[in-house]
Amino acid sequence: MSRIAETFARVRAENRAAFVAYLCAGDPDLETSVKACRAVIENGVDVLELGVPFSDPLADGLTNQLAAQRALESGMTMAKVCELVRRIREFSQVPIIFYTYYNLVFANGVENYVRAAREAGVDGMLTLDLPPEESQEVAEACRKHGLQTVMIVAPTTPDSRIARIAAATTGFIYYVSREGVTGVRDQLAGNIPEMLGRIRKHTTLPVVVGFGISSRAQVAQVAAHADGVVVGSALVNCIKENLGSAEKIVARIGAVAADLSAGVKR
């Protein structure tokens, strides 16, 4: 059983949702990023979603755009992102998902990118701007190297397309609960239970919900229905608000992760 499947089976047996945390790899620098990843993992994270820094992150709001910019300015490369994963693997076996864009995959060579990710210790890959109709080469490389695929369903996705997306997914479905980009929101999107019901007609894989979730109360609302809850910007803000002090970043991001993860209990 893969780390992804084992994790979702475990949290299901514990009658809760998985807490999925997003952090940009290398934000604000490699050493602090290692410490921030460790802090969230030690405070309740079940699955770590690592954003691979990119100059044009189309699905990301300002918070995560600036995180990617900080990481790139600190010198992050694909090789250093893989180094970060290897260092995480020295202290944790939580599933790690690459949150990436196809330009990065293509520029490095699909086979090389997937192989490097898997050898570093990555479990799955979410390529934000790669539709299932054009994902065959990536899917074949992932299958060859044992990397699972994560695909996105949006609020506007029709049932016929949900079926196609589900067929291309081997890890879990990521339901983007809002149209637009990532970012903290005061209120949850509506109709999450209804959309999860529609998605589950087409797959038995776990379905996680993200985009706009930023408080323990919101986590709890989503966890009542979803297999996993994704929080990104609320954690990335802990870095932005404490730049210049790795100690403050670690302390704050750990405390926020602990608070948010408490919401996944049913």
Number of domains the chain is built from = 1
**What average pLDDT score do residues 82-103 get?**
98
pTM of the full structure = 0.95
Instruction: For the chain, report the end-to-end CA distance as a whole number of angstroms.
Output: 25
* CA R_g for the chain: 17
Task: Identify which of 54, 41, 175, 168 has the alpha carbon closest to the alpha carbon of residue 95.
Answer: 41
At residue 150, φ and ψ (nearest 5 deg) are -120, 130
**Quick one: pLDDT at residue 60?**
86
> What's the pLDDT tens digit per position in 15-61?
999 999 999 999 999 999 999 999 999 999 999 999 999 999 888 88
Task: Identify which of 175, 214, 218 has the alpha carbon closest to the alpha carbon of residue 197.
Answer: 175
**Angle at CA of residue 116, ends 112 and 117, nearest 5°:** 120
- CATH number of the domain at 141, please: 3.20.20.70
**What average pLDDT score do residues 164-190 get?**
79
Amino acid present at 222 = V
177 pLDDT tier (thresholds 50, 70, 90) = confident
Range of the domain at 118: 3-264
> What's the pLDDT tens digit per position in 97-148?
999 999 999 999 999 999 999 999 999 999 999 999 999 999 999 999 999 9
Which residues touch 11 (CB under 8 Å, ≥6 apart)? 17, 18, 46, 227, 228, 264
Distance CA 241, CA 226 (A): 30
Residues assigned a catalytic role: 49, 60
**What average pLDDT score do residues 162-168 get?**
97
Distance CA 4, CA 152 (A): 17
Q: What percent of the chain has pLDDT over 90?
A: 90
